[in-house]
Structure 1
Amino acid sequence: MTVKLCIFGGSFDPVHEGHVCMAEHARKYCGMDRVLFMPCSLSPLKEQAPSVTDDQRCRMIELAVQGLDWAMLDRTDLELPPPSWSWRVAERTAERYPGAELFWLMGKDQWDSLEQWGRWEYLSSLVTFIVYRRGGVPSPRKGVRALFIEGDEPASSTRIRHDLRSGVCPVPHLNRKVEALIRREGLYGTARV
């Protein structure tokens, strides 16, 4: 039986409950065996690097997926030289999991800008996209395999960083173990506790 693996890449700066809900939707509705939470080193489409270290983001992901046997941290992108190219990540994942069927989980905003991704047509030959839509209907692309799932997650890493700097406690949509690590290490402008 072919293993279905879903790559879920992103800054995860920080990882939040919305990320986990998106991954759970993909697993449930598209029959994934495993979702690989894959923090990227530096996206070619973003001007700023993540606010915290790669190790800190990885530890937060491990806490966020603790106890979920279908989810795991995968450091593939961090092991490749920057910037992060999705096609390289898909190639390396295919090498690591020979025979697996690969999927790529993304939001509608990423789907809408897919043509800006490096070698996106080649990437499309390696994976089936799972597009998580929050309102609006994504347009299919000829020759590109894609599954569309509906959901509405209000969580935002930008908002969570703002709430942390502003002293909100507890922060909505943030896993309590992740929040404890953030406060213990004084991340995102919080005072160490």
Structure 2
Amino acid sequence: MKVGLYFGTFNPVHTGHLAIANHMAEFSGLDQVWLVVTPHNPHKKKSTLLDDHQRLHMVFLATEDYDKLKPSDIEFRLPQPNYTVHTLAHLQEKFPQHRFSLIMGEDNLNSLHKWKNYEVILENHDIYVYPRVTPEVLLPELQGHPHIHKTDAPIMEISSTFIRNCIKAGKNIRPLLPHKVWEYVTHNLFYRK
């Protein structure tokens, strides 16, 4: 099975995340997309980042009606700070029957060369890239790479930061969150302070 890994803090997961994940699952040749919730870095100030399991629960609520989208807490059990190359190696060992790919925005692709062992990632894994509002000029060494696949996923201008700021300001942003996530956030009074 071909599995796309879509990493994020998902603080909170929103309709933009779902639109991109679903597009990748339906149109890129991937069989499933796992939304991998990135754990809180214990060395960083917590700020507005919700507890790991609260964010994972929101991803579960958001994806439970999608057959091809799955929440993943795989990084919760890995030593911190963690690197994507280690997560990929761990997943390949745990699920040898799957072929794992990365899903990322154009902006992240252009900083890929700064990632730990990025050459290993590029050599062994496909990368599916979704467009950002401002198109990025791809670094020369990445142009035409056989493992990099640019997709025509919808351009999403929604951000979790915008959603948190709106909730704090008392704005109704209900259409930007999956219904069950909206209910969970509202019930628990998240992002109010």
- Decide whether the 8 Å contact of 2:166 with 2:173 is kept in 1: no
In 1: Cα distance, 2:124 partner to 2:77 partner: 20
Shift of 1:160: 0.4
Shift of 1:115: 1.3
Aligned to 1:35: 33
- Decide whether the 8 Å contact of 2:128 with 2:150 is kept in 1: yes
Aligned to 2:64: 66
* Root mean square deviation, CA, Å: 2.2
Identify unmatched segments of 5+ residues in structure 2: none
TM-score normalised by L of structure 1: 0.88
CA separation of 1:157 and 1:138: change in aligned 2, threshold 3 A? same
Aligned to 1:20: 18
Shift of 1:171: 3.3
Query: Secondary structure in 2 aligned to 1:7?
Result: strand
Aligned-partner residue type, residue 36 of structure 2: M
Aligned to 1:102: 100
In 2: Cα distance, 1:155 partner to 1:87 partner: 28
Identify unmatched segments of 5+ residues in structure 1: none
Aligned to 2:76: 78
Shift of 1:102: 1.4
TM-score normalised by L of structure 2: 0.88
Q: Which runs of 4+ in 1 moved over 3 A?
A: 46-50
| Percent of paired sites with the same residue | 26
Aligned to 1:136: 135
- Decide whether the 8 Å contact of 2:163 with 2:173 is kept in 1: no
In 2: Cα distance, 1:160 partner to 1:56 partner: 16
Aligned length: 187
Shift of 1:144: 6.0
CA separation of 1:160 and 1:40: change in aligned 2, threshold 3 A? same
